Amino acid sequence: MRTLKITVAYDGAGFSGWQIQPGRKTVQGTIEDALTAIEGRRVAVAGSGRTDAGVHALGQTASFTLTNPLPAANLKKALNRILPAAVRIYDVAEMPAGFHARRAAVAKTYEYRIHREETCPPFVYPFAYWYPFALDEEAMIAAAPLFAGTRDFRSLAANARGPRQERAEKSTVRTIFSSQLTRRPDRLVYRVRGSGFLYRMVRNIVGALLEVGRGKLKPSGIPALLAARNRGLAGITAPARGLFLVAVEYDNE
């Protein structure tokens, strides 16, 4: 039995998120169907984490076991022939027995894109939050690093998705290694790297940054917002389409 890790990119617009759900099209289910066709038996795929409906990935990772001896390079080609164009496998790697894409991950990087021009091109709209209205961008840029560190992010955690998820996220303390907002010619790009993230936490951080930009929250108020541990005090949850899972890191890489 072989243990393998794949690195996958996908356009999340046509999927009900990563995780398998009865009667819904998901990225995990789509990949499992492709592997099952190759293996001749049902193959379970473990992702490095879940992404919500509409969220995209540039470097999601997942692991699974196969008996099929097809070399990794050929397996990558076979999967990309079977999978829809919205899902692409960029790498297939042999891993030690027992490797698990989620449990072994040591860091993840997410990126959120806010398109700032008056007109949003149709080929940009599905992959960014179009916000052409006035924002104090300098204040937002100053506020972004204040989310870095080991902190309790309960104020920026959405309600749990069910009893199992609630148990898994009983602790709302997470470590953020870096948090930065930068201005590009046509957009704001928020990039955050951390050991792990709560449900919708990145989108809620972006919502808080937008509150700063609108003048409803000062950068100096970020520590108090986090200390309150009250989701009701934070801003909106930014739309899913602007969020990308950029990379997942492991100790051996």
Report the DSSP beta bridge partners of residue 92: 6
Spatial contact of 62 and 6, defined as CB atoms under 8 Å apart: yes
> 170 pLDDT band (50/70/90 cuts)?
confident
Q: What is the pLDDT of residue 159?
A: 66
How confident is the model over 102-119, as pLDDT tens digits? 999 999 999 999 999 999
- Angstrom CA distances, 59 to 25, 119, 134, 180, stand at 20, 29, 32, 19
How confident is the model over 28-57, as pLDDT tens digits? 999 999 999 999 999 999 999 999 999 999
For 155, phi and psi rounded to 5 degrees? Answer: -65, -20
User: Which domains occur in the chain, in start order?
Assistant: 2-95 (3.30.70.580), 105-250 (3.30.70.660)
How confident is the model over 180-224, as pLDDT tens digits? 999 999 999 999 999 999 999 999 999 999 999 999 999 999 999
> 165 pLDDT band (50/70/90 cuts)?
very low
Mean pLDDT (whole number) for 125-136? 98
End-to-end Cα separation, the chain, in angstroms: 23
- The catalytic site residues sit at 52
Q: What is the pLDDT of residue 169?
A: 56
Q: Does the predicted model carry a pTM greater than 0.85?
A: yes
Q: How many Å separate Cα 35 from the centre of its chain?
A: 23
**Distance of alpha carbon 193 from alpha carbon 107, whole angstroms:** 7
Spatial contact of 22 and 32, defined as CB atoms under 8 Å apart: no
